Every structure is written in C-alpha cells, then in structure tokens.
Amino acid sequence: MEIAISVKNMVKKFGDFVANDHLNFEVYQGEIFGFLGANGAGKTTAIKILCGISSPSSGELMVAGYNIYKNRDKVKKSIGYMSQKFSLYDDLSIAENIEFYGGIYGLSRQIIKQKTAEYIHELALESYEKMRVIDLPLGIKQKLAFSVAVIHQPKIVFLDEPTSGVDPITRRQFWEMIYREAANGTTVFVTTHYMDEAEYCNRVSIMVDGRIEALGTPSELKNQYSASSMEEVFIHLARKATRID
C-alpha cells in the first residue's frame, strides 16, 4: 500500500520538556487514521510538525511522498488543515471564505465558482449564502471549514479535533463527509477526544506522555487489551500517564 505519511524517530523538545518522544508510525494513502491521546499528550505538537508549522528537533519525516525539510512547498500544496480553533473568517460570507481559500491554493475563478455552488448545495446552505460566517450555527461552520480544508483536493487532510463542541447529529454528518472524502482517495489524519469516533477510524494510535503506546485497528486494540470498547482501551492506557495536564 502507498504510504502517505512516514514518521521515524521524531523528537520534539521544548527546552528539557520532551513533547514528542521518538514517534514512529506510517499512515497509508486513503485511510482514516485516528491520532488519540489525552490533553497534553503531544498530539497538537505532532500535527503541527507534520503540517510544517513547527520543526522537529530530530527525526525523519515524509509527508505526501516528500521530505518535509527539503520540499516544504510541495508538501504544503498536497495537504489540507483544519485547526482546533475555528478557521474561517467570521466577518466574511460563506462564498467569500471559499473564494479566499480557493485563491490561496491557486484554484482558478471557474473552479472556485463551481466549488462554491457544490458546497452550498451539499451542505444545504442556500438560505445562508449571503450570511456572514459569524451568524452561522457551529455545526454548519465546522462542516464548511472541513469543505474549505479539502477545496484543493489534497492528498492528506489533517483535522485537529474537528468535532469538539458539536452535537451528535452534526458529528455523524461530519463523519459522513470524512468517509466521502476518504472514499475519493484522500488520507484523513484526525485527532479526537470522542472514543466512539475512534471506532470509525481504519487505524488509531494512542499517545501517552509524548510516546505512542498503542497502534492498530480498533478491533486489534480491543482484543489486545481485552476491552469491549475503545473507551476502555484508552482509559487503560491513559491511566499510566504521569504528566499533569
């Protein structure tokens, strides 16, 4: 299987504090990879490094087939990112947001127009079209932010806790969007707090105190820890944490 992300011995230190302690994992093209861990385990640090916003202290990293030290520009064109904080412009309308992000990724006017119509139709936003983003319900904002993150059809999309604070129905709809995107061949790298969401992933890794403690499909992990749910697996592992949040 084609490898989308390859991480070997990645270390990130802030002074004496080791945020990421020799991470090793691979993510395959087209899979949904869940990146789990308690608060402060080092998830956001790792995702920032993989997106090229932060540099690792050491380690070998390949993202979308490129070395991120040497080909940062090529990596950037091949990935999408939805940050933990909400990442659309509040004071612009839906169409203006789509137009802006499409423009940044170098899409043509025509494609942007087409995408805008497509998103508005898919998300049933016809009545919201002219509204500023600030006036939209959170669930719609979140779905729109995801659509915008994949507007340039990236090989990999990174989602940093995309569903926090959203109601269960919207979360379900959000995951349907993720599945559709993955079915098109996009690799989805997602962090989450919700263990039911972990069950939706093809494979998950669980980070504790900066290290990856477990990695596998949800059913493998449940067998390995003889647990009935991912929640039990997670609690079993996270209990070992010594770091205070």
Partner 1 sequence: MKDFIIKEFKQIFRDYRSMIILFGIPIAQVMLFGFALTLDLNDAHFAVLDQAKDEHSRKIIEKMDASSYFILDRNLNSREEIQKVFEGGVVREVLVFKPGFSENLDKTASTELQIITDASDPNTANMMLNYTQAIISNYEQSLLLAHGKQVLIIPETQFKYNENLKSVFMFVPGVITIILMLVSAMMTSISIAREKEMGTMEVLLVSPIKPIEIVIGKVMPYLLLSFVNFLLILGLAFTVFKMPMDGNMLLLMAEALLYILMALSLGILISTVSNSQQTAMLLSMFALLLPTILLSGFIFPIENMPSILIYLSHIMPSKWFIIIIKDVMLKGAGLKEVWFPTSIILFQTVLFISLSIKKFKIRLQ
Closer of 23 and 88 to partner 1 (Cβ): 88
Q: Establish if 76 lies at the interface with partner 1 (CB under 8 A).
A: yes
Within residues 106-125, the interface with partner 1 by CB under 8 A covers: 106
Binding segment (CB under 8 A) for partner 1, from list 74-82, 109-117, 181-189, 225-233: 74-82
Distance of alpha carbon 127 from alpha carbon 34, whole angstroms: 34
Q: What DSSP element (H or E) covers 17?
A: strand 17-28
Binding segment (CB under 8 A) for partner 1, from list 17-25, 26-34, 86-94, 237-245: 86-94
Q: Establish if 24 lies at the interface with partner 1 (CB under 8 A).
A: no
Closer of 77 and 113 to partner 1 (Cβ): 77
Collapsed DSSP state (helix, strand, coil) of residue 5: strand
Quick note: the x/- pattern for partner 1 over 123-152, rule CB under 8 A, is: --------------------------x---
Collapsed DSSP state (helix, strand, coil) of residue 30: coil
The string over 204-221, giving b where at least 16 C-beta atoms fall within 10 Å of a residue's C-beta and e elsewhere, is: bbbbbbbbbbbbeebeeb
Q: Establish if 105 lies at the interface with partner 1 (CB under 8 A).
A: yes
Where helices occur in the chain by DSSP H, the ranges are 43-51, 72-78, 94-104, 109-122, 138-149, 168-183, 195-200, 218-224, 230-238
Q: Establish if 66 lies at the interface with partner 1 (CB under 8 A).
A: no
Distance of alpha carbon 143 from alpha carbon 140, whole angstroms: 5
- Interface residue with partner 1, options 4, 38, 61, 88 (CB under 8 A): 88
In the complex, which residues of this chain contact partner 1 (CB under 8 A)?
Answer: 48, 51-55, 73, 76-77, 79-90, 101, 104-106, 149, 158
